[in-house]
């Protein structure tokens, strides 16, 4: 066999192999692109992976979720806008920036609305929670479910926070939410919206004096490396929401919608358990790293926000807060 014949044979084998592989791949698989801003060790990312695996199983491989973590495709706001035009299928966002699309979601940024964790989940799993998930359909954002994001608390670089007075004069990073800004102002601080991916550097360089978030996020972001005090005042419980573009949702068959919603519901149960485990582990880890974890008296913090609550009287958020507190 000549050299030319050997080359031709090699090329033919390669072409046949490619053809064989392409024939074994399904051409009818529905792929949903899902993006979010968290790292791959975060409980939410692991829950999304769980959802993707369950969807693959439920649909017998006819549906697939491709996940793009770590802000690869943009910020939370940018991802929501991609959903609105149908360029992206799904995303996970905090309910804080959602208030710009669904004003009633401001209730999640109002401090000390929920009595305890049981009350919080009764609301999310009940009629109020369901109505809020679907309230974004008018702006082409349909909620599929809530992931636990725990309670948000303050962490600071150089100053211990034991009472609202300790926040006086401090610049505190908040999410892009007017209600969050008002909340920090009511407690004595100065709220500063900064993108999550830029916060480590902002803390390191002194652009802000502190921030507020839940224990797993405080740990996984490594903010504990530059913030030595963590005060568990637990001012707000702001859930994460998995959204799907209504364009994409409406393009799915009824059976595909059932598969996706079932996979989402199962991932919620998985994520809540994982969240509890990682919250305990995160607190232990940051303490081991030298962070002082402070458990303050919450009463002074709660007293400082009563006027903030009253300022919302006459709004959808205030009406919703009354319904929640009546449960």
Here the tokens at position 167 are: 């926040």
Q: Are residues 303 and 190 in the same domain?
A: yes
Q: Are residues 207 and 295 in the same domain?
A: yes
Q: What is the pLDDT of residue 24?
A: 35
Q: What is the pLDDT of residue 1?
A: 53
Please state the domain count of the chain: 2
Q: Where are the alpha helices (DSSP H) in 85-124?
A: 95-98, 117-124
Q: Are residues 67 and 143 in the same domain?
A: yes
Per-residue pLDDT of 12-58, as tens digits, reads: 333 333 333 333 345 689 999 999 988 898 889 999 999 999 999 99
Q: Are residues 123 and 253 in the same domain?
A: yes
Task: Note down the domain range covering 199.
Answer: 152-237+289-326
Whole-angstrom distance, CA of residue 320 vs CA of residue 131: 11
- Taking the CA atoms of 106, 111, 113 and 118 in sequence, report the sign of the dihedral they define: positive
Give 88's DSSP letter: -
Q: What is the pLDDT of residue 5?
A: 44
Q: What CATH number corresponds to the domain at position 295? A: 3.40.190.170
Residues of the chain with pLDDT under 70: 1-27
Whole-angstrom distance, CA of residue 267 vs CA of residue 208: 35
Whole-angstrom distance, CA of residue 178 vs CA of residue 207: 20
Q: Are 161 and 231 in contact (CB under 8 A)?
A: yes
Q: Are residues 190 and 279 in the same domain?
A: no
Whole-angstrom distance, CA of residue 196 vs CA of residue 53: 28
Percent of the chain with pLDDT over 90: 75
Q: What is the pLDDT of residue 100?
A: 85
């Amino acid at each position: 066999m000549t050299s030319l014949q050997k080359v031709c044979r090699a090329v033919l084998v390669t072409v046949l192999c490619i053809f064989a592989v392409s024939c074994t791949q399904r051409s009818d698989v529905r792929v949903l692109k899902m993006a979010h801003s968290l790292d791959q060790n975060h409980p939410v990312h692991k829950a999304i992976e769980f959802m993707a695996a369950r969807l693959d199983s439920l649909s017998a491989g006819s549906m697939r979720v491709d996940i793009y973590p770590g802000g690869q495709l943009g910020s939370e706001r940018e991802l929501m806008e991609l959903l609105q035009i149908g360029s992206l299928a799904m995303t996970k966002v905090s309910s804080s920036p959602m208030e710009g699309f669904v004003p009633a979601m401001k209730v999640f940024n109002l401090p000390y609305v929920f009595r305890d964790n049981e009350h919080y989940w009764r609301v999310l799993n009940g009629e109020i929670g369901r109505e809020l998930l679907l309230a974004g359909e008018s702006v082409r954002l349909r909620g599929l479910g809530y992931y636990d994001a725990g309670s948000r608390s303050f962490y600071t670089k150089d100053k211990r926070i034991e009472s609202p007075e300790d926040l006086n004069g401090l610049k505190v990073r908040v999410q892009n939410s007017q209600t969050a800004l008002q909340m920090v102002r009511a407690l004595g601080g100065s709220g500063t919206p900064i993108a999550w991916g830029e916060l480590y550097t902002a803390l390191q360089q002194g652009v802000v004096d502190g921030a507020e978030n839940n224990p797993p996020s405080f740990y996984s972001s490594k903010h504990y490396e530059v913030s030595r005090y963590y005060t568990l005042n637990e001012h707000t419980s702001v859930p994460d929401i998995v959204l799907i573009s209504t364009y994409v949702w409406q393009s799915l068959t009824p059976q595909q919608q059932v598969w996706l919603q079932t996979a989402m519901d199962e991932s919620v149960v998985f994520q809540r358990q994982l969240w509890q485990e990682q919250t305990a582990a995160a607190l232990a880890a940051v303490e081991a790293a030298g962070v002082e974890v402070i458990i303050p008296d919450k009463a002074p913090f709660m007293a400082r926000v009563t006027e903030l609550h009253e300022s919302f009287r006459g709004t959808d958020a205030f009406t919703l807060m009354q319904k929640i507190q009546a449960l």
